Structure 1
Amino acid sequence: MELKHLNLTVEEIAPTRDFLLDYFDFEMKTEQGSNPEVLVSPEGFILTLMQGKDVTYPKTFHIGFPQPDTSDVDRIHERIKADGFKVPSPKQTPHGYTFYVKTPGNFMIEVLSH
């Protein structure tokens, strides 16, 4: 069985949606401004963004976007950093070459290559 759908609640959908569209190649499947907004990745993963209030995620909560190789991780990292997001440099860990970035929706994304 493969996980193919996730619903995330965020306080502001628009900046979170734009972040995901800009850096992770999602495509809109609903109209902007709807609640919820549905995004689909090129691989068919369905990510729903729902607006809520006082949204908090546990400190270690994150979603991951595995990349084919380390150069893809570096490319995404450089784009995010150039756009002003605070993001640590990628590093090699036991599970891959990786970095984490906090989204406008206040949850973490891990970008990695195995």
Structure 2
Amino acid sequence: MKLNHLNLTVNDVKAAREFLEKYFGLQTVGTRGNAFAALSDDTGSVLTLMHGAQVSYPKTFHIGFMQESEEKVNEINQLLKEDGFAVEPPQRSHGWTFYVEAPGGFTVEVLC
């Protein structure tokens, strides 16, 4: 069985949606003003974003985007850095990986 839907509460739906579209290729399939957005990936999984004024995820909470190669991880890392995000270079851990704080109040891991 495949997990194919996840909802995140975020403090800025528009900024989170645009971030996920630009860096991870998600496509918006529906919105309701600034309070809700539904995004889909190329496998049909759906990520919904709902507005919450106070967003507080546990320190270790994150979502991840697995890439096909170290080169792709490096490319996303460099693009985020060029766009002003505070990202450390990828490192060898449980794969080739790095983390970034996304607009909206959640963390994203990029790895292969």
TM-score normalised to structure 2 length? 0.95
Structure 2: runs of 5 or more not aligned: none
Q: How does 1:1-114 map to 2 (within 5 A)?
A: 1-31=1-31, 33=33, 35-93=35-93, 95-113=94-112
Equivalents in 2 of 1:10, 1:87: separation in Å? 20
Report how far residue 33 of structure 1 moved: 2.6
Report how far residue 98 of structure 1 moved: 0.2
Equivalents in 2 of 1:33, 1:82: separation in Å? 30
Equivalents in 2 of 1:19, 1:8: separation in Å? 14
Residues 14, 33 of structure 1: 8 Å contact kept: no
Amino acid at match of 1:37: A
Equivalents in 2 of 1:80, 1:67: separation in Å? 15
Q: How many positions carry a matched residue from both structures?
A: 112
Equivalents in 2 of 1:104, 1:34: separation in Å? 14
Structure 1 consecutive aligned stretches of length 4 or more whose deviation exceeds 6 Å: none
| Identical positions, percent | 46
Structure 1: runs of 5 or more not aligned: none
Cα distance, 1:50–1:28 mapped onto 2, change above 3 Å: same
TM-score normalised to structure 1 length? 0.93
